[in-house]
Amino acid sequence: MILAGGREFKIEKEDLSVDYAFSSLPDSSAVLVQVTIRNVSDTPLRVGKVDLIEIQDVSEPVYYNNWQSWFPFKAYWEQPLVEPLVQFADSQGISLLAATPVPEVLREGFRPSDYFIATDELLVGFVSNEFSHQYFLWNDESSSIKGVADLFGTRLLPGESIELETMAIYGSNTLWEMLEEYADLINKKNSVEFREFEGIGWCSWYHYFTEITFEELSKNVRLLAEIREREKIDYRLVQLDDGYQEDIGDWLQTNSKFPELKEIASEIKREGFMAGLWIAPFSASETSRLFNEHRNWFVRNDDESPKVAYRNWGKRIFALDSTNPEALTYLKNLIKSIRDSGFDYLKIDFLFAGAIPGRRFDESVSPVEAYRTGMQMIRDAAGEDCFILGCGAPLLPSVGFVDGMRIGSDTAPHWNGEPMDIGVPSARFCLRNAYTRSFMHRRLWLNDPDTIILRDCDLTEDEKRIFALSVGLLDGMMLNSDDMARVDKNGIELLREAISLRGGEPRVFLDGMNGVFAACTRKASQSNVISFVNLTDTPRHSIKLKEMYRDWSGVVPSVDEVELPCRSIWIQKRRSTT
């Protein structure tokens, strides 16, 4: 790299001075970049978007990361199209805020890669996300990448400066090694700690959706206890998802299908399971008690009207303003009340709502800072002995606050391989992200690839097998979501096979293919593996077994090449010696 240790320089931008300091990272190919922005004018300034870096001679593919859980991390061979997404959102009345906190960038025809961007030879990314929103823009015509920080109108007095979050630039090694090093650096800089997820879990969502009842929940608790005893499957968690609450935002009031929260938790714990509950703590619907009784607790438009964060459940959904002291106290009391009811696992969803831009009680605070304030309150109120799973969450600013993180879209009881790739429920795209974001696992948090589905449904047997075995070999959190009365012996055996692949250290060898992946594991509890997965509808022929797969896994392949049918997985195992 031409950027050597200890170099500094300054760029004057009208009323701003942008100072750069470069340093090398010991035992790494990384160069760290510290940027300081100073107001050199005689008047106070509001600082918005600041161009920080431009990289020339970029080669394809370019790997884009979206800011939140549901959206893709994937390779592009040409600049991603934005117009279809914007037109679809506008035609359906869908807010773009789920896709980005800077929707104006989408409307200008550019899709940002949030927090980091990569090619096969280069990775540029921020090490933390505390107040600005950081993103990168690729221009395939000029073969360049531009890095930007949006400070959302942060006020700087004359002579005042602000130090931005540290940026890291990697320019050697393989893509997967750069991704792993980058995640290790984030882990170190943010002093990441997380609770372990023990055993197997069950979630109500992907069978019952909002139609779950207390009777069906109780039935499944009983069946899971029987399966645990009979089949020796280590079920430990029962998590109730959406469908129990009176309204979105009214989390402590149950609807007519359920008793109060304490009785629900007691029913789950009676059979020795950890009790889990789904909430969307920064969201409240237009019909909720919370919103109608406390409208001043929510993020506002410039005209002081409450700002719509997104639409779902056939309603407008508003975002809690965690800079409002009363709203923050409410958030603390909400989490404490749920914990006091007996729940020790929280799935907190639609978290991006807490980070949308808009007017807040404390207008000196950026959306990112507001989000982190809310997340810190949730973490503190829940306590260290509560497992927190993030979902629909801004990724980098969530580091350190969650134990597990959904890293893809919702799965579904159908493959749904051809929808617009914008975070819609899809087993295929959900699984794609499990592979592409596997480097985050056990570095930033425990990856949640979403639930396995074992019952007879619209997924074929091969599709269910791909998903289940991928979850196992990628070592993510493992839950299934079924009416357990409909799970037969074959379903239990598939779950058992997936469990046998857990406990290893996975590496995914990304190569620009968004639907075909090579993944290997080492140091596994039972078996190390070399595997190939094909998520596409096109067979792949003569896939070479490369030496690096053997070097990582210790598995000596019995063949030189693999034929990989569409929607299939190939695995070769070797008994682990660890």
Exposure letters 360-388 (e unless 16+ CB within 10 A, then b): bbeeebbbbbbbbbbbebbbebbeeebbb
DSSP 19: E
Sequential pLDDT tens for the chain (578 residues):
333 345 788 888 889 999 999 999 888 889 999 999 999 999 999 999 999 999 999 999 999 999 999 999 999 999 999 999 999 999 988 899 999 999 999 999 999 999 999 999 999 999 999 999 999 999 999 999 999 999 999 999 999 999 999 999 999 789 999 999 999 999 999 999 999 999 999 999 999 999 999 999 999 999 999 999 999 999 999 999 999 999 999 999 999 999 999 999 999 999 999 999 999 999 999 999 999 999 999 999 999 999 999 999 999 999 999 999 999 999 999 999 999 999 999 999 999 999 999 999 999 999 999 999 999 999 999 999 999 999 999 999 999 999 999 999 999 999 987 778 989 999 999 999 999 999 999 999 999 999 999 999 999 999 999 999 999 999 999 999 999 999 999 999 999 999 999 999 999 999 999 999 999 999 999 999 999 999 999 999 999 999 999 999 999 999 999 999 999 999 999 988 87
Which residue do the tokens 């069978």 mark?
Answer: 207
Secondary structure string (H, E, C) spanning 269-330 = HCCCCEEEEEECCCEEECCCHHHHHCHHHECECCCCCECEEEEECCEEEEEECCCCHHHHHH
Which contiguous run of DSSP H or E holds residue 92? helix 83-92
Give the pair of three-digit tokens for residue 96: 């773009």
Say what percent of the chain tops pLDDT 90: 93
Tell me how far apart the alpha carbons of residues 214 and 46 are, in angstroms, rounded to a whole number: 52
Q: β-strand 479-480 against 446-448: which pairing, if any?
A: unpaired
Q: β-strand 73-76 against 123-126: which pairing, if any?
A: unpaired
Determine how many CB atoms are found less than 10 A away from the CB of residue 514: 21
Amino acid present at 127:
V
Which are the contacts of 576, defined by CB distance < 8 A and separation ≥ 6?
504, 522, 523, 524, 525, 526, 527, 528
The pLDDT tens digits of the residues spanning 359-369 come to 999 999 999 99
Chain-centroid distance of CA 294 in Å reads 30
Listing DSSP states for 399-458 in one string gives TTT-SEEE-S----SS---SS-TTT---HHHHHHHHHHTGGGBTTTBEEE---B--SSSS
Amino acid present at 577:
T
Angstrom CA distances, 475 to 462, 522, 575, stand at 20, 11, 16
> Count of alpha carbons within 13 Å of 549, Cβ hemisphere only?
26
Which are the contacts of 456, defined by CB distance < 8 A and separation ≥ 6?
486, 488
The pLDDT tens digits of the residues spanning 454-508 come to 999 999 999 999 999 999 999 999 999 999 999 999 999 999 999 999 999 999 9
Give the pair of three-digit tokens for residue 207: 């069978």
Amino acid present at 540:
R
Average pLDDT, the chain: 96
CATH 3.40.50.1970 is right for the domain spanning 200-502? no
Domains of the chain, residue spans: 8-189, 200-502, 516-575
Length of the chain: 578
Tell me how far apart the alpha carbons of residues 556 and 58 are, in angstroms, rounded to a whole number: 36
Give the pair of three-digit tokens for residue 384: 């260290």
Coil/strand/helix, residue 213: coil
Give the pair of three-digit tokens for residue 489: 């012996």
Dihedrals phi, psi of 258, to nearest 5 degrees: -135, 150
Annotated active-site positions, please?
A: 349, 410
- Asked whether the beta carbons of 100 and 67 are under 8 A apart, the reply is yes
Greatest alpha-carbon span in the chain: 76
pTM > 0.95: yes
Chain-centroid distance of CA 340 in Å reads 28
Give the pair of three-digit tokens for residue 11: 């760029």
Torsion of CA 392, 293, 329, 322, to 10 degrees: 40
Q: What angle do CA 511, 515, 518 make, to 5 degrees?
A: 50
- Asked whether the beta carbons of 8 and 22 are under 8 A apart, the reply is yes
The pLDDT tens digits of the residues spanning 51-63 come to 999 999 999 999 9
Instruction: Please name which of 522, 465, 475 lies closest in space to residue 497, comparing C-alpha atoms.
Output: 465
Phi-psi region of 102 (alpha: psi -120 to 50; beta: other; left: phi over 0): beta
